[in-house]
Structures are given as C-alpha cells and as structure tokens.
A and B are shown apart, each in its own frame.
Chain A
C-alpha cells in the first residue's frame, strides 16, 4: 500500500496544468533532447517564447531546409532523434525536402510545425498550408493536434514511432491556439498503439533455414545496408562474417558498418560500386541481405541481379522483403537480434575457399582506379588526401553527385556512424547543414563536409551558423564548375549536349567564406591542395576550401542505367590497360 502511495504521489507531480508550449518543452526534457534545430515565425511565437524562458539549446539555421538536414546529420551520428521546429505555411513547406530525405534514408526525426489557429484552419488564412496533407506520404506518421488534452500523448507517440522499428520522421502540426491553451501534462502514460507493433526478434525456423543455406553454399555474400547502423550491429556483422567467413559488400548508406580494411570486405556495390562487389552479387549462389532495401541504384537491372542466388533478406520492415527482389528466406527482425541468433547457432561454414580466392583475385586485378595527372587536382586523389590527413577517423558528409561517389569510393570507413550522405532521395544541399548536426552530435570529431559547387550553392547560407557556433567543420568544395553527375550523364548518354549543366562563372568562394567571417582557401594543383589541406586541418575552426578539380573527370566504374551489375564500364585491369 505504501508503495502505491509513493507511486501515486510521483504521478501527481507530473500531472500539472500548463500551456501547450510549456508541455512541449517539458516533453522534450523528458525525451532528453539536447538540441533543437528551427526557425521561428508567427504560428510558433508562443512556443519560441517558452523556449527563450527555458533556455533550451536551439540552433537558428538560416533556412528551414538547413534545420531539417542538420537534424538528419545529428540523428545519423548520435542515433537519437533529431528535433525540428518550423512555423506554419512556408516554414513547413520548406522542410518537405528534408522530411522526404529522412523518410527515404530511415532517419528518426520529430518535427513540430506551427499551424494557424483551429478557428481559422481551412479558411486559407495567412501562412496556412495543409501540412498534414502535404507530408502524409513523406512521413512515417503525422499528427495534427486538435485538443490540448491530446498533446502529451501525441508527443510521446511521435518519439516512440520515430525511433522504433524502421526509424523515420514523424511530424506534429500544432495550431497556434493549442500552444497557448492550458491542459494537464501527463507524460507518464504508456504508449498504446495496437496498429504498430514492430517485429524485432527473428523467427527461429527462418534463421535455421538461413544457417542450412549457408552450410550448403559455395559462393555466399552478405549485402549490408544502413539497417546494420540503425541497429548498432557492426560488431555482430563482423563477428558473423568472420565466423562463417562470408565476404561483405556494402550499400552506399551502409558504409562503415563493416571495416573497409577487412580482408572479407569487397567494397561498395551498385551503380558506382567496385568490380569485385558487383561481380560478387552477380556470381553468388547465396545472397544474404541485411538491412538494405534493394534500391535500384544497388541492384541495377533486376533481370540480371543475383541471377544464380538464393536470396535471404533480414529486415525490420516486412514490406521491404520481396518488394523488389523475390526472397526465399525472409527474416523480419532487427539486424542485431538476427545476427546474434545466427552467431549463436554456429552453423557449418560454407565450403567457399575457391570463391574467396576468386574474389581476392578480382580485388587485386580490378581495384578502384584513376589516372594520376600533374598540374591539376584529381578529385579521387583529393579524397585520398583527406582520408590520409584524418586517419580515416573523420565524419564525412556529402551532397549528391560525383563528389559523393568519389567520397564513398576513396574514403575508407572503418567504423560506423562516420558517413552522412543523402542516399535515397539524393538531395543537393544536404551536406553542409548535415555537417552542422553531425558536429553537434559529436563535438570532438573532425567533420569534413565534401560538397559540389552546385549543391553548396543551394544551402550555403548555413555558413552563418557554422561561423556563429565556431564549429570546426572543414568544408571541401569539389569545384568542377559544373553539375558534375549531370554533365557526366550528358557526356555518356546525350551525345555531349551539356544542357544547362555547366557553370563556368562561379562566385569567388574564398571571398564568400570571408564574407561570413571564416577562413577560405583555394587550390588548383595537387601540391597546393596538399598544402591547404594541411593548413586547414591544423586550424581549430571552420575553414572553407575551394578545390578546382579536373573538370572533365568521370566517376568509374559505372553500371549504366538499365544494365546489369556485371555490365560495368570503366573497369581497368591492373596489369593491362583495357579501359
């Protein structure tokens, strides 16, 4: 009885009457939110007033898109949900790109948008937009709060949904009058969502089938995606791969889930994957997909994807299994739980010595390759120099395009949560704001934001935030005076008709850096590049580096659209030149 009383008293303490705005602050404290990325406006003024009074750490980005990408970077590195506040109407529509990006790459976000007062919703009021309608297909779930009494429950559910199962963005639209209305704050309630019960533990029978399949296999391969990182299963992946001696290829987003310098690692697979990784996927007789969703950039033409293989797929999202590739052994589970079970079973390893020898031969004969050239900067060399200077320890963020592929190919990620890139949506302008969030998630890390000259100009206003917070981010512009990947495709598939992809008149990025009060440096040759990189990494503060790279360089190897992974072009054998 006495115990009951104490519990009741504790509960009563949390049940206090307060405004919607204060409830939100209290809920964020309960959720242990360290930083909010946002931008104020009319509909969220009561909320911002409360933030002011509470002294919550809030980062004012210069555009809402910056706020949400920063939250994504934060989520990717910390593993915790990124929190964003935007106002109604334009504030909310400005986060649409980031929401889609987070949805595609399964990043946990909790996004609060202001909304006009309930009394005028639907009247096309000032700064009104149907945010719930707009964001329905690009969020894991969304809410509009219609009564103050629902607010604590909704926030609690939102954090639960965003961070469990397959992570994703959840949006809460809060009308202005709800932020000022008063209600009872009860955050001590259990989340009750009968329609949302993610399966996290694998089915034993299916695990058994996979163990059998491995023991009978001669050419097994693991395709590991970002699910490994979300589940913090890098150690288990390594242990399992070593135990069964199964080689591993990564998706773009999975990089770092398995050590790049491990003998069993074959590299990244897909459109710009390594020869060995792609040929392994083509020739394997057992494909074990762990936490990847068979994106078309990984599979190439599905007709030629793993044509000889039995496919096993471990994924926490049942809808991903069988969506693109027919699967013989489906395992709905958290990657960590499934791997632990597989390790515990200690199945008979595959008889794959010949396979491993073949893979080693390919690795040796067809490594990633570029032609060094004096008097210019080869973008691949630039990435290699950054890799060496940072000992492979840096957090690397990128946009989308050529620089992203070079970074993925030439920066070797040996540990998880160092790689922040826009994979599924391929968002230009992602890299710079994402670096802000990544740096705030890991203050001691060296953060390098590798961006193209095109994407950089989509969100470079966030330099202001980097300068203001003195975040020691090194911004590397791979400047080829073009939208490089567009240019590459036009060269290869549109007969060199460079329709609106060349930007010969770029602004002076060094002066731009200076305008924002930070150091800017430029390099046009490899020697200059080595020098400015050395200087930049010696400085404990933000530096913007403008590298004028060889402009007509293309990303190879490449699987052309519509082709199978075995039909790569731009593969060069080590001994003879056959490219």
Chain B
C-alpha cells in the first residue's frame, strides 16, 4: 500500500543520508522523497512516499524515523485530507506540424509549455502523481525525449472535519 509520510527535520549535514540509510538498512522501499526548507530557519520538511504491505510496517517506519535525533516530527498523512502535488518537466518530440495538437492535448491538464525548440517542447505539469502519470501516457505516442519528476510533496488540509467521508473528493 502506498503511504505518504511527512516530517520536519533539523537542517544539518547528513540528515537526508541518515533517513535514506535507515530505509536501506531496514529494507523499506522508498518511492520518492522530496526535501525543502520550511518557514522556520534551520528546519526542513520532507515528504516521502513508501510502499508497505501492512499497518505494522508503516508504524515501525514511523517509530524508527522518530528515533533519529535530528527528526523533529513524523506524520503519516495517508488517511487524512491532504493536498499532494508533484511537478514534472516533460521534453516531448514536437515537430511544428503536430504542435497545435499537443497544445490542445495538454490544455485540460492545465500544463504549460516552458520551452520551445525546433523539434521539441518542454511541458511543465503539476498535480497529483496520477495526473502527471496520465499526461505522460498521453504524450508517449508522440515521442518523449526526457522526463524529470520531483516526487510527491504533500500537506494536510487546513480543515480535516469532513475528511473521513469526503476523502476522495478532497484528494482530487
């Protein structure tokens, strides 16, 4: 099962190494990790997506992460109302003849063209990982030269009240 875990850590040398090392040592599979600064100086925020089979493994991951001295707080936000986003840059083969078609294609995804060259385009898309996935699949027949994805970064929503019932609606 895919789980999204967020945490705040001291922004010290080697912290990311500490976290990824822990995952390697304990044989947990990481799908993605994103790291960036928070509003507080010296504290960074990480979001990572892991694939685990059961609740116990998820609990164990969180406990092990919590044991790290430089980890301040860990949250499994999978079952909460969250905003989860990913950014992807897709370099697609696009000779002038089919450019218009590609423009039309990406429009419903609210993606944008951020670079144009003689025979390719760079498309920027943000959203749920599934949405990014869908766009990449749509573009694949046209020929994809390169894809760069950031991995998921996520937040719990400010309001959690209706979360239990309307979780799916919120995530979309």
Contact = CB atoms under 8 A, between A and B. Distances in A.
B10 A319 contact: no
Given A194-B72, A322-B56, A326-B56, A317 B67 contact: yes
Interface in B24-63: 25, 56, 59-60, 63
Interface string B130-148: 0000000000000000000
B144 to A, nearest CB: 36
B18 interface: yes
B21 A146 contact: no
Contacts of A322: 56, 59-60
B69 A161 contact: yes
Contacts of A140: 69
A136 B25 CA distance: 11
A166 B9 CA distance: 21
B80 interface: no
A326 B63 CA distance: 15
Contacts of A132: 14
Contacts of A317: 67
Contacts of A136: 14, 17-18, 21
A144 B13 contact: yes
Specify the main secondary structure of chain B where it touches its partner.
helix
Interface string B82-117: 000000000000000000000000000000000000
Given A132-B14, A144-B13, A195-B10, A323 B60 contact: yes
A441 to B, nearest CB: 27
Contacts of B71: 195
B101 to A, nearest CB: 50
A141 interface: yes
B22 interface: yes
B68 A319 contact: no
A201 to B, nearest CB: 18
Contacts of B60: 319, 322-323
Contacts of A326: 56
A319 B69 contact: no
Nearest to A196: B69
A132 B18 CA distance: 10
Contact of B64 (A141, A161, A196, A319): A319
Given A133-B17, A137-B22, A144-B13, A318 B70 contact: no
A196 B72 CA distance: 8
A103 B70 CA distance: 18
A357 interface: no
A292 to B, nearest CB: 17
Contacts of B67: 317, 319
Interface in A141-178: 141, 144, 146, 161
Interface in A459-494: none
Nearest to B72: A195
A141 B69 contact: yes
B66 interface: yes
Contacts of B56: 322, 326
Interface in A303-321: 317-319
Nearest to A165: B67
Contacts of B25: 137
A193 interface: yes
Contacts of B17: 133, 136
Interface string A114-151: 00000000000000000011001100110010100000
A319 B66 contact: yes
A140 B60 CA distance: 17
B54 to A, nearest CB: 11
Interface of B: 9-10, 13-14, 17-18, 21-22, 25, 56, 59-60, 63-64, 66-72
Interface of A: 132-133, 136-137, 140-141, 144, 146, 161, 193-196, 317-319, 322-323, 326
Q: Which A-B residue pairs are the 5 nearest by beta carbons?
A: A319-B63, A141-B69, A195-B72, A196-B69, A137-B25
29 contacts: A132-B14, A133-B14, A136-B14, A136-B17, A136-B18, A136-B21, A137-B21, A137-B22, A137-B25, A141-B69, A144-B13, A144-B14, A146-B13, A193-B69, A194-B72, A195-B68, A195-B71, A196-B69, A317-B67, A318-B66, A319-B60, A319-B63, A319-B66, A322-B56, A322-B59, A322-B60, A323-B60, A323-B63, A326-B56
Given A133-B17, A323-B63, 7 more contacts: A132-B14, A195-B9, A195-B10, A195-B70, A319-B60, A322-B59, A323-B60
